């Protein structure tokens, strides 16, 4: 690419080289990858839900609430995929108990993210930038994890989720642009 990163006019991730990569070895089976993705989505759902309840700006809390709802939708679809692939009679509760993680989709914990953005709560712009940063890092992690996974079907789980993150980023960008115009 001509001009390298200095010429790049899109979002960038500042994730460290191995950030979140401890989550996989590379030889996971599809059902293991689905369980991992489910846990990441669940942790991110809790994070967005928490932000939606604590935020002070209506547009921003609405955006966080929509993102939280999307994470639930992703979890539903992952659960369906898990059942189709394994065909076992495991209950949703038993499955969820195995997928609990504190790590969010971007490979960090909620505490780590909030420590980086202490001022988000009273500032809509910072809150939206926090969400965009999280989604950018999530996109980055999902694509890099997919690259590392050797099983094709398993990798496609993360490619699909990466596509969803791109949609989130576009939506957040629209809210941010509207907000900047009104500030």
Partner 1 sequence: MKFAEFLSRVKTMDADEARRWLDEKPEGSYTLLDVREPEEYEEGHIPGAVLMPLSELPDRLSEIDPQKPVLTY
List residues near partner 1 by CB under 8 A. Answer: 1-5, 7-17, 136-137, 139-140, 142-144, 146-147, 155-156, 159-160, 162-163
CA-nearest of 92, 123, 112 to 43 is 112
The nearer residue to partner 1, 16 or 62, going by C-beta atoms, is: 16
Q: Minimum distance from CB of 40 to partner 1 (Å)?
A: 16
Q: Which is nearer to partner 1, 25 or 88 (CB)?
A: 25
Count of Cβ atoms closer than 10 Å to residue 102 Cβ:
13
Least CB distance from residue 161 to partner 1, whole Å? 9
Question: Least distance to partner 1 from the beta carbon of 95, Å?
Answer: 25
Sequence-distant (≥ 6) Cβ neighbours of residue 67 within 8 angstroms: 48, 131, 168, 172
Q: Between 21 and 121, whose beta carbon lies closer to partner 1?
A: 21
Residue 173 to residue 110: CA distance in whole angstroms:
22
Q: 8 is written with which tokens? A: 């790049």
């Amino acid at each position: 690419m001509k001009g390298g990163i200095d010429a790049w006019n899109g979002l960038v991730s500042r994730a460290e080289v191995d950030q979140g990569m401890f989550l996989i070895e590379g030889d996971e089976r599809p059902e293991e990858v689905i369980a991992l993705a489910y846990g990441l989505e669940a942790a991110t759902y809790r994070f967005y839900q928490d932000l939606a309840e604590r935020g002070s700006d209506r547009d921003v809390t609405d955006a966080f609430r929509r993102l939280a709802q999307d994470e639930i939708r992703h979890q539903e679809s992952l659960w369906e995929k898990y059942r189709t692939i394994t065909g076992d009679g495991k209950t949703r509760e038993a499955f969820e108990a195995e997928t609990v993680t504190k790590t969010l989709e971007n490979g960090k914990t909620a505490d780590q993210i909030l420590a980086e953005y202490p001022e988000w709560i009273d500032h809509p712009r910072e809150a939206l930038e926090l969400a965009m940063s999280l989604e950018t890092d999530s996109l980055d992690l999902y694509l890099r994890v997919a690259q590392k996974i050797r099983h094709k079907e398993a990798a496609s789980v993360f490619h699909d989720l990466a596509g969803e993150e791109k949609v989130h980023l576009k939506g957040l960008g629209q809210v941010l642009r509207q907000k900047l115009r009104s500030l």
